[in-house]
Amino acid sequence: MYHTLVALVEDKPGVLNRVASLFRRRAFNIESLTVGHTDKDGISRMTIVVNSDATGVERLTAYLYKLVNVIQVHDLTPLSTVSRDLAMIKVSTQPENRPHIMQVVDVFRARVVDVTNHSLIVEVTGDEEKIEGLVEVLKPYGIIEMVRTGIVAMARGASPVPPLNYNGNGHIPAGQAEPPTTG
Amino acid sequence: MKRTGAQIVWECLAREGVEVVFGYPGGANLPIYDAMQDYPIHHVLTRHEQGAAHMADGYARASGRVGVALATSGPGATNLVTGIATAMMDSSPLVCITGQVASKLIGYDAFQETDVTGITLPITKHNYLVTDVHEIGHAIREAFYIARTGRPGPVLVDITKDAQQQAIDWEYDASPIRLPGYHPDRRPARKDFQQAANMISAARRPLILAGHGVLLSGAMAELKRFAEQTHTPVALTLLGLSGFPAGHPLNLGMMGMHGEAWVNHAIQEADLLLAFGMRFDDRVTGDLKTYATQARKIHIDIDPSELNKNVKVDLALVGDLRQTLAELLEFVQPCEHADWLAHIEGLKDDSLLRDIQNLPDQGHLYAAHVVFDLWRYTDGKAIVTTDVGQNQMWAAQYYRLDDPGTFISSGGLGTMGFGLPAAIGVKFARPQDEVWAIVGDGGFQMTQAELSTAAQEGIKVNVAILNNGYLGMVRQWQEFFYESRYTATPMRGPDFIKIAEAHGLTGLRVTQRPEVEPAVRQAQRTPGTVVIDFRVEQEDSVYPMVPAGADLKQMIRRPLPSPLVEPVQESI
């Protein structure tokens, strides 16, 4: 099944390569990977979607922790989360079908961010299904090109997600067994 | 104080207590070499960078300290790769310092530029590309810290030539190292010790599987106390050899593909496996589906990623083995397993009859005889390094090791050519000890150029070439699994006596068993490095053998007078 992992990593050159290389080296397929800054200086956050079973994710967590630049790893999969993907879709349009497309865009609560006589760019944010839904509906009009950011995710609720600390006996949440500390 | 980057490198090495480095100069590390003479560190010029990495590795394994290798950019650095991967697989602490082209040239395919941090990323514990002179000190301090703590491993620091050349005001920073993502110190929870103790006292057929972690954490005394207090027999992995005395009554011997038959049987019959600092390598487990199915398993290792990786265990304890065993000992009650030990004794069955040491002498010189005699005539006190293949397995089987850290071999990566350079590194770490490299004719030729290093350094190691004119282990697999089609395994070597003599060293040849002792004695008496060409039986095989991926009980045994070899399929 798909697991959504979040890794807090040091913001240093080559860290993305180390993480990506680890997945390749250990024969895990990355479905999606995004990376960006956090509110803390020097720490980036990666959201990685990987297709694996629970044992595989435990191994992966342990391997991620072996990377010196990886500070914390979370598995958001069992939690209630908000996950978002952003897509821009350039659709081919004719004067006569443009209103239809605009209607569809409205239904999906997407936005048009660029218009020409023969095309428009739709920007849509949402979870994967929503974006795939919109893509399906737009396909018949002719998609000229499309780009997606990949999933970013966050657990619901007031507190940050407890880090996984793989100790060989399954996942142990923070506070119960010396979790790695931030900063 | 004004310091160039190159001076900072040496300053940091000196602060780490480094006494010897192994390396090879070139364009991109010239500043480092130019600054070397001002520091009290001995440099060993190797004949190939692979040799430098293996020497640093041998030095590290024999001394328990970090080994240091230097190389230039491009081909210098890529030549280190095999040695780095060897150290990575065997958890050996190395710091490799490579020169890199000037920072403004990086990415432009400059002369001798290569992406060294990229290449070594999966075979180092960590690595650094340093382009700023201000970062050199931190990088080297962190490199040593990471290399030696937790599960040890190689760390590479790649320093651009301009960073080596720039001068800055610099003071050594001795403050504690803080790495937010690196936590080598882990301890199991108290409840896990109690659970382990309960499992141990409930066991009737317990067995300790002791690995390299025993030596790396210095847990020899704790292991001995644990085995004795719980009356539990000990089986060793290849790299665990010498972690528990061969002569101890609870020592069963080596496990796995070429382990003792009774050890593999005992593993399959045990009801509790205590895996101490080992990683259930496929050469140790055979078929995972049939591996020790009756046994509950407790695994202690410092690396969490090794737990439940190959073999699912019932209880995993993350921590330094020495410390964890010491704490566990406070929880376990004395046990008694005389029945189980007697049963294992019975498993030996006809093993002694099959042992080549007990077969009638037919006038042939067997490699196993050479190793056995070497053990006798060195009083079992030498430090043995090996290459990979038959020579390695015979060394493991017949050089019985009682003292810790006396068996140095490329286990995980299986690197041919490791033996001679590793022996040279060992000799630098332990100059008072007798060092023997037990190698094959194939592996020896891969790094024999390092004889020249030994000669230049005036360093004395002894090289026992088990010369069978074949790539012996591959030939053995061809015999067993490829209907004896010896493709590309017969090898005509050079005259090894002349090779030795060409380096100003001593070469000897032995063709009969009675000549073994005088040759060993002569080697011991000779001040410089000695190479002995043992012309051994050409088509002998290492027994027993569990074919790759087969059940541990499915062993090919050395034939008794009637043929006992059952055909088995090779899977890997």
Same structural domain for residues A68 and A124? no
**Per-residue pLDDT tens over the stretch B297-334:** 999 999 999 999 999 999 999 999 999 999 999 999 99
The nearest CA of chain A is from the CA of B410 a distance in Å of 21
> Are A182 and A72 spatial neighbours (Cβ–Cβ below 8 Å)?
yes
pLDDT of residue B362: 75
3-state SS, B83-132, equals HHHHHHHCCCCEEEEEEECCHHHCCCCCCCCCCHHHHHHHHCCEEEEECC
Domain range spanning residue A111?
83-152
- Quote ipTM for the complex: 0.90
Question: Could you check whether the bond before residue B544 is cis, i.e. omega within 30 degrees of 0?
Answer: yes
Q: A180 in a domain, yes or no? A: no
Cβ pair B117:A69 closer than 8 A: no
The nearest CA of chain A is from the CA of B500 a distance in Å of 42
B112 included as an active-site residue: yes
Residue at a domain's end among A47, A63, A80: A80
> Are B163 and B5 spatial neighbours (Cβ–Cβ below 8 Å)?
yes
Same structural domain for residues A59 and A93? no
pLDDT of residue A180: 41
Per DSSP, the three-state class of B148 is helix
Instruction: Count each helix (H run) and each strand (E run) in chain B, helices first.
Output: 23, 20
Q: Does A13 touch chain B (CB under 8 A)?
A: yes
Q: A161 in a domain, yes or no? A: no
User: Looking at chain A, which runs of residues are DSSP E strands?
Assistant: 2-10, 30-37, 43-51, 70-75, 81-92, 111-115, 119-126, 143-148, 152-155
pLDDT of residue A176: 36
Same structural domain for residues A64 and A88? no
Contacts of A167 in chain B (CB under 8 A): 186, 304, 307, 316, 318
How many other CB atoms are there within 10 angstroms of residue A118's CB atom? 13
Task: Over range B6-15, report the average pLDDT.
Answer: 98
The alpha carbon of B377 is separated from its chain's Cα centroid by a whole number of angstroms, namely 24
Task: Over range B287-302, report the average pLDDT.
Answer: 97
The alpha carbon of B70 is separated from its chain's Cα centroid by a whole number of angstroms, namely 21
Task: Over range A50-57, report the average pLDDT.
Answer: 92
**Does residue B566 have a pLDDT over 50?**
no
**Does residue B345 have a pLDDT over 90?**
yes
Nearest 5°: phi and psi at B317? -115, 120
Residue among B122, B180, B189 whose CB faces A183 most closely: B180
B501 included as an active-site residue: no
Residue among B181, B189, B313 whose CB faces A70 most closely: B181
The nearest CA of chain B is from the CA of A84 a distance in Å of 27
> Are B454 and B461 spatial neighbours (Cβ–Cβ below 8 Å)?
yes
**Per-residue pLDDT tens over the stretch B108-117:** 999 999 999 9
CA distance B221 to B218: 8
Q: A87 in a domain, yes or no? A: yes
Per DSSP, the three-state class of A155 is strand
**Per-residue pLDDT tens over the stretch B499-539:** 999 999 999 999 999 999 999 999 999 999 999 999 999 99
Q: A34 in a domain, yes or no? A: yes
Cβ pair B180:A181 closer than 8 A: yes
For B446, the enclosing helix (H) or strand (E) is helix B441-447
| pTM (two decimals) | 0.94
pLDDT of residue A171: 44
Compute the half-sphere exposure of residue A46: CA atoms within 13 Å on the CB side of its CA: 24
Same structural domain for residues A12 and A75? yes
Tokens of B342: 């007697």
Which of A71, A81, A19, A65 lies closest to A171 in space, CA to CA?
Answer: A65
Cβ pair A167:B316 closer than 8 A: yes
CA distance B109 to B104: 11
Per DSSP, the three-state class of B246 is coil
Catalytic residue (choose from B125, B161, B224, B460): B161
Same structural domain for residues A67 and A88? no
Q: A70 in a domain, yes or no? A: yes
Same structural domain for residues A130 and A110? yes
Cβ pair B307:A177 closer than 8 A: no
Q: Does B199 touch chain A (CB under 8 A)?
A: no
B36 included as an active-site residue: no
Q: A176 in a domain, yes or no? A: no
CA distance B3 to B284: 51
**Does residue A70 have a pLDDT over 80?**
yes
Residue among B182, B303, B315 whose CB faces A68 most closely: B182
Calculate the alpha carbon distances from B340 to A108, B69, B115, B207, B275 in Å: 71, 48, 55, 10, 18
- Out of A148-162, B69-83, B150-164, pick the least confident: A148-162
CA dihedral defined by A154, A157, A162, A164, rounded to 10 degrees?
A: -50
Per DSSP, the three-state class of B28 is helix
Tokens of B488: 């590309």
Q: Rounded to the nearest 5 degrees, what angle is found at the Cα of B295, between the Cα atoms of B294 and B298?
A: 165
Same structural domain for residues A96 and A147? yes
Total domain count, chain A: 2
**Does residue B162 have a pLDDT over 80?**
yes
Interface of A with B in 82-111 (CB under 8 A): none
**Per-residue pLDDT tens over the stretch B40-50:** 999 999 999 99
Bridge partners (DSSP) of residue B384 are B407, B436
Tokens of B468: 């069978």
Phi-psi region at B228: left, alpha or beta (left = phi > 0; alpha = psi -120 to 50): alpha
pLDDT of residue B570: 54
- Out of A94-108, A153-167, B261-275, pick the least confident: A153-167
Cβ pair B122:A58 closer than 8 A: no
> Hey, what domains does chain B have and what are their CATH numbers?
2-169 (3.40.50.970), 190-347 (3.40.50.1220), 355-535 (3.40.50.970)
pLDDT of residue B1: 85
For B67, the enclosing helix (H) or strand (E) is strand B67-71
Cβ pair B186:A169 closer than 8 A: no
Average pLDDT value for chain B: 95
